[in-house]
Structure 1
Amino acid sequence: MLADARHVMPEALKFPGDQRFFLAALERAALIVHGRHSYEDQPNSARRKRLVATRSIAALAPDPSNRNGTLWNPAGAAFEQGCKAAGVDAGSVAIIGGPEVFALFFDRFDTFWLSRAPQVRLPDGEPCFPGVPEHTPEQILAAHGLRACEAEMLDEAAGVSVTAWRRATPS
């Protein structure tokens, strides 16, 4: 689960090591992509270029609440059009969720960083991907051609780790 039943990330899922890892990734990204319930809540959030996936518009529109934001309906505009509208034509993209937004990119990710906090339970929480809990996040990533690679422990006491799932290269 990536949020509680109200679509909010509870404090129980916020670990300093994971937050540092997340912030470092955001600092490297040229563009942030997320849905209406996801946000980064970081000191530099307002300065980052972003696409906000929404069904409330036909295709693309400026985000009235963020001068660096572009509203994007994936059913009405290709991702590349969204990038152009956001003023981004090069660099890495950080897809920060939610579940439906992650699913848009399953077959495009070159790397997906999957964090695990095994001691946290969120009954009736929001799954990280469509198809969870019927399948594990690992099964879903593998089904889309990604494989687990390096892992890093972010919080030893809480057992919080992150694993890079990378696109398998053809042999």
Structure 2
Amino acid sequence: MTVARPRIEGYAVISREGMIATADGRFPDAIRIPADHEFYQDSVDRASAVANGRHSAEGGEKEKLRHRLVLTRRVNRLVTDPHNPRAILWNPASTPFEEAWKRLGIKDGILAVVGGTDVFQLFLTIGYDAFYLTRTEASVPGGRPVFPGVGSSATVEEVMARHGLARRSTRLLDAATGTVVEEWSPASAGAQ
């Protein structure tokens, strides 16, 4: 069976500092925006599979029903998650992405990348077809950034641009909180 590369889409909600979590890894209530949650859940519902780190997942009743790649350094080969037969434990340092995707048994479709920081960074190098970045006005100082270095040595925009991504559109999700979602895609794709 020939397996096509999936469309890779990233999904993150960030504070104004570019943080996705508090310093101890908790998802901050300040960036928990109902309109974003609805956008996010609708998006992962359309995906063929989800990629996340051991401590990041989309939550909800459908989480165990989705095919997924769980990125972890605790395995050296692809292993079915003992707690979820639809999930594959994957260490990118020992197994290429193409092999992990093939192991899921999905011919094509969308892979929704949902975090955390190291997972978002890895897929910058693999290549996003789109990255949906939800920006809030909330403050989460000293938290965990969406990408390594954000907040200390680089902005989110600088990291995305260094990896060949350009902002294509911005849409208001929630006027009351000033929350918007930006779509970033490869600059080589041209303006839309």
* TM-score range for the pair, normalised by the shorter chain length: over 0.9
Partner of 1:111: 130
Task: Please tell me whether residue 100 in structure 1 is matched to residue 118 in structure 2.
Answer: yes
Alignment of 1:17-166 (within 5 A): 17-107=35-125, 108-118=127-137, 120-133=138-151, 134-166=153-185
Say what the alpha-carbon RMSD is for the aligned residues: 1.2
How far apart in 2 are the matches of 1:47 and 1:4? 28
1:123 Cα offset (Å): 2.1
How far apart in 2 are the matches of 1:148 and 1:39? 25
Aligned length: 170
Kindly report structure 1 stretches of 4+ aligned residues shifted beyond 3 Å.
Answer: none
Q: Which amino acid aligns with 1:66?
A: N
Q: Give the SS at the match of 1:97.
A: coil
Unaligned runs of 5+ in 1: none
Flag the structure with more relative contact order, 1 or 2, with Cα contacts below 8 A and sequence separation at least 6.
2
1:65 Cα offset (Å): 1.4
Superposition TM-score, scaled by structure 2 size: 0.85
1:64 Cα offset (Å): 1.0
Q: Which amino acid aligns with 1:6?
A: D
How far apart in 1 are the matches of 2:69 and 2:185? 23
CA deviation profile, 1:110-135 (whole Å, cap 9, x unmatched): 111111112x1112211110121111
Q: Which amino acid aligns with 1:82?
A: A
